[in-house]
Amino acid sequence: MRSGSKGSIYRRLALIVLAIAVVGLIAVPFALAAEPTMVVGGLVHGKCYSGTRTMAAIVAVPDPSSTAQPPDTLSTTQATGDGFFLMIVPLPGSPATYANLTITSTALSPALADWSALFSTGTSSFENIPGGAEGVSLTMVVKNTTVSGVVKSAKTKKAIKGVKVTVGNKSATTNAKGAYKIVIGLWPATKYKATFAWKGHKKATTTFTSLPGGSRVVNKSLK
């Protein structure tokens, strides 16, 4: 899974800073006239073994004074597929109560399906600035997929010891029972290859679909 280039990331960040500044100028009169507010914007990323990529998410600022579980929110919005979000956050109560605020993100698929069970929650904090603006970055880490199986000889049907199995950037070697296990953070709903290398034989591969937070059994018979 390739991450975005540094140039494109910097361009997105520059656009975010500009958007925050513009919306901040609009929000200041409202902050001075009524209940204090501030503008918060930024990018949401998902992280797997191969790096990070921007992604859609639900972004929320929990109300620190709320006793509900889960807590009520001061503001909620949706980050686009490019990970961009912008929100106006009301700041009721005394400034001391809201001196440092938390912002969270929960993952959505490109089709906006709920992926929260497949990723950690992204969390960051920002300073209470009535009438001001703040930029934040949120990263959600994909849960591990456990890939395991048994490698046997196609001819003898017996387990093979010493086969190197590789998935992504991780490898394992089969034991005396031909078994292996690899735990790795794979992007959801994505096809990956398990590669089997045995001394004196050609490499073999098997394709499987990732399952963050779960297991995939990938057995192999080698000729």
pLDDT in tens, 81-124: 999 999 999 987 666 666 789 999 999 999 999 999 999 999 99
Same domain, 137 and 106: yes
Domain boundary (141, 174, 191) is at 141
Domain boundary (100, 121, 141) is at 141
pLDDT recorded at residue 8: 57
pLDDT at 158 over 70: yes
Domain residues for the domain of 156 are 145-222
- Provide the token pair at 96: 């001391």
Q: Is 15 a domain residue? A: yes
- Provide the token pair at 198: 């045995």
Q: Are 37 and 75 in contact (CB under 8 A)?
A: no
Burial of residue 114 (number of CB atoms within 10 Å: 0-12, 13-18, 19+): exposed
**pTM for this structure?**
0.82
With residue 165 as reference, give the H or E element that holds it: strand 164-167
Residue with tokens 């098997």: 206
Same domain, 13 and 89: yes
Q: Are 134 and 174 in contact (CB under 8 A)?
A: no
- Spell out a b/e string for 134-147, using b for 16 or more CB atoms within 10 Å of the CB, else e: bbbebbbbbbbbeb
pLDDT at 15 over 60: no
